[in-house]
Structure 1
């Protein structure tokens, strides 16, 4: 048997226990896939996370995972370079960029911080892989140039949708690249039974969309009045017999306009016949609960992925190309485009899909082979890289 090296793996922008359960789902699923790939090659590994906004009571899912420092411009400005010391102690890095944060649409500060962690690995000559994610857009010319500089110096760049792949092609990125799918489709869950007497509908309320974006000025440029659409949807569903409407969050606890929790409570107060679901502790808990629903309308992409990957008909409300790209890649056309549809158009279309739930379920089943094939290829690609790095080599 080969004497393979033990590998220490950095996980930049992975957070177990993030108040955004999408990031929690990505972190759990990606670490599990990497560990499975290593096990298949007979390689022992340990992980170091370098994430953000972790709940104080969050526990890593495995003893092989150590929680490292959070990337912070303020800490760096104070001369605290612990994150670089920790990163240097690792053999390679898998950077998931919280799924969609390698872009400048969320502001310059966030963009520069994500650039910084990638540049650190590059300057250390450390192998770094961008795990499957949405990449771009980069609206400012200077940001596009910086992103291109970084992308061309990474070990591998993996996208989760065809629009990001086309974007890399337009940028003429020369690094090793491939298109897979969102790793959160692999998130485990415990299936819940369906209610035999009621049609249980889950409305995943996005605080970000409900509050008109991060500033309230509709900087997401939506044609859809999401608040009006959500209220009309609840009213329409409640006017039909035998339907239970459940309001749930997927980003909660962080406060601010991005928090789903206050929007859920406000709607529950307006519509007392709805059920406001308590905040979930983990993405696995959320996905397990979602699996017991009959239909979901979601404003958060990973709430939609939780439904999709547990076989529940789902209508995502798309506010950026990450939705269009991902569900387009899966040949799943049942989503509302918030940049194209009016509130009335969205309501009519959503209710038509609700009445034709079986077609949506059939669409999910037809796409399952795409998910399996792509994630199997991703795991195989990881295995090859880990094996290459784990084989001992004589120093020249």
Structure 2
């Protein structure tokens, strides 16, 4: 039987942001499994940005094609690839299918979608944040592409509502984040009486004040909040081992403002009692480490998803609606809104989360199966699409 030829766009095999990588690793794992169920081999081509990191998605069934202007525009480039594919899966880098990040990124996404439609190849919108779209032309262009897609999936109720507000009346799957299925190695049992472990993800971007500088956290600033949390867990609570856990790890000298590792290393020099996690080589390696924590908090959403999906009580420190959308849709209502709260309120939410971690664990045990069940619906839609693709 002929292989199933799948192309992934707006995924990444080598992003410094391990959250984007987690989406890709999990998506590939899902597609491999579904292809095997259909008794077909998968040939997966990932159209990827030219990042410096060594790819963490590998295998005989994986081909990586660099994304650049020439590949997108020449006839033998992306259009030819889309025509040769049985399906194209677009995850929008998780939250990029919106106009809040500027027009350059969105125009590139619109072009890839339009070429897929032109090729006549089924386009799958994998679970992602959709919107907000605030411009007239961006809303119209997004809606036109969504209406032509074979599968439309969101990862939260807010995105589903955004679809409806745009005027989309078609079938939409309200799934969850595919990174809930990211493979990882569970931690080995620890001896009785071992120190409890708290994981804290520190955003390098927020420590630097954001892209524009001077980003504020309610009535206080983010670096001060982080230092307060470090002092609390290392100086005021005995028997706790605090781990600083980066999730955006910049290779080389590029985009250092984003680098959680650099920011965490500086804090580790300032607070020698903390444990600095290693510079992870892959999303699964990061999740395996996070799974060994007894409690977690952080500003990178996929670091929080790694905790949540491995059973670790977590307080997500949200800086966009995607946090509350994802966790709130599953009934896990322990996200703290950092943009609308004072530093004292955020500090209290994190420290109270630690104090009530058994309650968080019970809520997680109910919410996680909801997320996995929602992904089952997405996978069923993929399974039905694969069944319709002839083994040519």
TM-score bracket relative to the smaller structure? over 0.9
* Shift in Å, 1:80: 8.9
- Separation of aligned partners in 2, 1:23 and 1:201: 24
Q: Does the residue aligned with 1:103 lie in a helix, a strand or coil?
A: coil
Distance 1:213 1:367, change over 3 A: same
- Separation of aligned partners in 2, 1:221 and 1:103: 24
Q: Deviations over 1:211-251 (max 9, x none)?
A: 22222253x98666322211111111112211111112111
Distance 1:198 1:11, change over 3 A: same
Aligned match for 2:199, one of 164, 189, 202: 202
* Shift in Å, 1:76: 5.4
Equivalent residue for 1:17? Answer: 14
Aligned residues: 386
Q: Does the residue aligned with 2:66 lie in a helix, a strand or coil?
A: coil
- Separation of aligned partners in 2, 1:41 and 1:116: 31
Structure 1 segment 159-238 matched on structure 2, within 5 A? 159-193=154-188, 195=190, 196-218=193-215, 225-238=221-234
Distance 1:349 1:194, change over 3 A: farther
Are 2:183 and 2:284, in contact at CA under 8 Å, matched by a contact in 1?
Answer: yes
Distance 1:339 1:371, change over 3 A: same
- Separation of aligned partners in 1, 2:72 and 2:367: 44
Aligned match for 1:144, one of 139, 146, 155: 139
- Separation of aligned partners in 2, 1:174 and 1:39: 33
* Shift in Å, 1:165: 0.4
Are 1:224 and 1:338, in contact at CA under 8 Å, matched by a contact in 2?
Answer: no
Q: Does the residue aligned with 1:135 lie in a helix, a strand or coil?
A: coil
Equivalent residue for 2:266? Answer: 266
* Shift in Å, 1:60: 3.0
Equivalent residue for 2:382? Answer: 382
1:249 and 2:249 are equivalent in the alignment: no
1:304 and 2:300 are equivalent in the alignment: no
How big is the alpha-carbon RMSD for the aligned residues of Structure 1 and Structure 2? 2.1
TM value normalised by structure 1 = 0.91
Q: Deviations over 1:15-61 (max 9, x none)?
A: 22321111111111111112212222223321100122444532533
Equivalent residue for 1:115? Answer: 110
Are 2:296 and 2:304, in contact at CA under 8 Å, matched by a contact in 1?
Answer: yes
- Separation of aligned partners in 2, 1:270 and 1:221: 22
1:134 and 2:121 are equivalent in the alignment: no
- Separation of aligned partners in 2, 1:138 and 1:198: 47
TM value normalised by structure 2 = 0.92
Structure 1 segment 77-92 matched on structure 2, within 5 A? 82-92=77-87
Q: Deviations over 1:112-150 (max 9, x none)?
A: 112111111012221101000111112333322222222
- Separation of aligned partners in 2, 1:289 and 1:305: 13
Are 2:175 and 2:377, in contact at CA under 8 Å, matched by a contact in 1?
Answer: yes
Q: Does the residue aligned with 2:353 lie in a helix, a strand or coil?
A: helix
- Separation of aligned partners in 1, 2:140 and 2:258: 29
Q: List gaps (5 residues or longer) in structure 1.
A: none
- Separation of aligned partners in 1, 2:76 and 2:353: 52
Q: List gaps (5 residues or longer) in structure 2.
A: none
Deviates more, 1:106-115 or 1:163-172: 106-115
* Shift in Å, 1:328: 0.4
Distance 1:221 1:290, change over 3 A: closer
Are 1:133 and 1:158, in contact at CA under 8 Å, matched by a contact in 2?
Answer: yes
Equivalent residue for 2:94? Answer: 99
- Separation of aligned partners in 2, 1:188 and 1:11: 19
Equivalent residue for 1:323? Answer: 323
Q: Deviations over 1:350-375 (max 9, x none)?
A: 11111111011111111132122112
Deviates more, 1:370-379 or 1:306-315: 370-379
